[in-house]
Amino acid sequence: MQLSELIKKDPAIERVAKAEEVIWFNPGLRCRDAAFEGISLTMADIDDAEARLRRFAPFIMRCFPETAGNGGIIESPLTEVEHVRQRLNGHGGGIGGRLLLKRDSDLAIAGSVKARGGIYEILKHTEEIALEKGLLSGYDDDYAKLAGDECRGVFSQYTVQVGSTGNLGLSIGIMSAAVGYKVIVHMSADAKQWKKDLLRSKGVKVVEYKSDYSEAVKRGRELSDADPMSYFVDDENSVALFLGYAVAAKRLKAQLEDMGIEIDENRPLIAYIPCGVGGAPGGIAFGLRLLFGDNAHVFFVEPTQAPCMLLGMASGLNNKICVQDVGLTGLTHADGLAVGRPSGFVGGVMKTLLAGEMTVEDYKLYDYMRALLDTEGIFIEPSSCAAFEGPMKLCSREGEEYIGRHGLEDKMQNAIHIPWATGGRLVPEEIRKEYMSTYLK
């Protein structure tokens, strides 16, 4: 489709194609009941995923002693970052209410949001094999025994493969190696060297591609499909990944309650989640809208050169369009978000659930990163920092249209803003230093 035709579908595409920063409100957004009408996934699916993670907790604890403190449940803190709020407001922001950072950057094992979906999908696959092979007698068996030599011997006959820009590969690779599988990670050109090195040190086979993420996924899928003992984690279409991410919403609700925060008509929850192919932010958004209904407003944030989900949703073409089709490069310092073509599955589910999107220029990511470290002593990786552009844009003149339309004017002073920090813990010290001294503008 010609650019001019795309712009007729949604005028925002004109600025998107020029790599300008935009805020985009999803015209397909619907109220709670209407929003879920065409969606077959439900709360029961999230409950099922949560229960599976609980069954595996003794196993996780045995493989990863670092998770013992939390009983084998992989969860991240929710931290109020008032000093960042003040710093951002000092730099032109108008963020009212409270700013709470969801720190998936600190998640155990994988150090990123991928520890949710990626690890969940590997566990689900493992449970299926274990039940089929009689390694488990049923759901009430003791899953810790799966870490024993006999079970590992069985798992070692199987292969797991995945395509990744880095963090998904880390999560799938580390978890699969822990279970005992052979693992092959197909890494796109954007993947950082230290992520490949770390995986290789764990015995994971890393195949490198000079092309982008979509190509690495395609090759990985082909190679896996040709091997009957191989399982492919399909980031573009996986319902399991999506549900693993969605569990985050239930956990967040409990954390808010622990902090004495109740989300209701007068206290909206506004989440801002960095988006790559869409699985992680999509799953979380789905869970938040299910749990908080119309009191949850979820925005995705993407780099100006790789706004694939925004382009797919605004054009209505979903995965039938990529950022290169409108002349963008897909290249960005936000390696976790360097995706040119969105998940069609997620785009479809988000159609009625997502409030909108913001895009952000790369140079700001480093500025946000320094601001967070300076004021709160918290390090997160550049991709994660895209989240802060969310409240900056929504709480500016650019956001007024949305706030007015949803009758939020007098509620913004009560709002709970949640930028979702999606990665960081595993970034090596020397790379952190490099990031800290990166100034693009």
Ligand X SMILES: *Cc1c(COP(=O)(O)O)cnc(C)c1O
Binding site for ligand X (CB under 6 A): 112-114, 167-168, 274-281, 336-337, 339, 381, 383-384, 422-423
Q: Which residue has the tokens 């922001």?
A: 93
* DSSP-based three-state secondary structure for 269: strand
Count Cβ neighbours within 10 Å for each residue of 392-413 and write b for 16 or more, e otherwise. Answer: bbbbeeebeebbeeeebeebbe
We find the least distance from the C-beta atom of residue 113 to ligand X, in angstroms, to be: 6
We find the least distance from the C-beta atom of residue 391 to ligand X, in angstroms, to be: 17
Identity of the residue, 182 or 289, whose beta carbon is nearer to ligand X in the bound complex: 289
We find the least distance from the C-beta atom of residue 186 to ligand X, in angstroms, to be: 15
We find the least distance from the C-beta atom of residue 31 to ligand X, in angstroms, to be: 25
Residue with nearest beta carbon to ligand X: 276
Neighbouring C-beta atoms of residue 242, cutoff 10 Å? 28
Under a CB-based contact definition with an 8 Å cutoff, are residues 327 and 334 in contact?
no
Name every residue whose Cβ is closer than 8 Å to that of residue 5 and which is 6 or more positions away in sequence: none
Identity of the residue, 105 or 315, whose beta carbon is nearer to ligand X in the bound complex: 105
Neighbouring C-beta atoms of residue 43, cutoff 10 Å? 14
Identity of the residue, 114 or 221, whose beta carbon is nearer to ligand X in the bound complex: 114
Long-range CB contacts (< 8 A, 24+ apart) of 61-65? 61/144, 62/144, 62/147, 63/147, 63/178, 63/179, 64/108, 64/109, 64/178
Identity of the residue, 301 or 412, whose beta carbon is nearer to ligand X in the bound complex: 301
We find the least distance from the C-beta atom of residue 381 to ligand X, in angstroms, to be: 6
We find the least distance from the C-beta atom of residue 213 to ligand X, in angstroms, to be: 9
Identity of the residue, 170 or 296, whose beta carbon is nearer to ligand X in the bound complex: 170
| Pairwise CA distance, residues 334 & 274, whole Å | 10
Identity of the residue, 281 or 390, whose beta carbon is nearer to ligand X in the bound complex: 281
Identity of the residue, 67 or 167, whose beta carbon is nearer to ligand X in the bound complex: 167
We find the least distance from the C-beta atom of residue 4 to ligand X, in angstroms, to be: 29
Angle between helices 114-132 and 167-179 (to 10 degrees): 30
Under a CB-based contact definition with an 8 Å cutoff, are residues 126 and 53 in contact?
no
We find the least distance from the C-beta atom of residue 405 to ligand X, in angstroms, to be: 26
Count Cβ neighbours within 10 Å for each residue of 298-322 and write b for 16 or more, e otherwise. Answer: bbbbbbbbbbbbbbbbbbebbbebb
Identity of the residue, 135 or 204, whose beta carbon is nearer to ligand X in the bound complex: 204
Under a CB-based contact definition with an 8 Å cutoff, are residues 326 and 412 in contact?
no
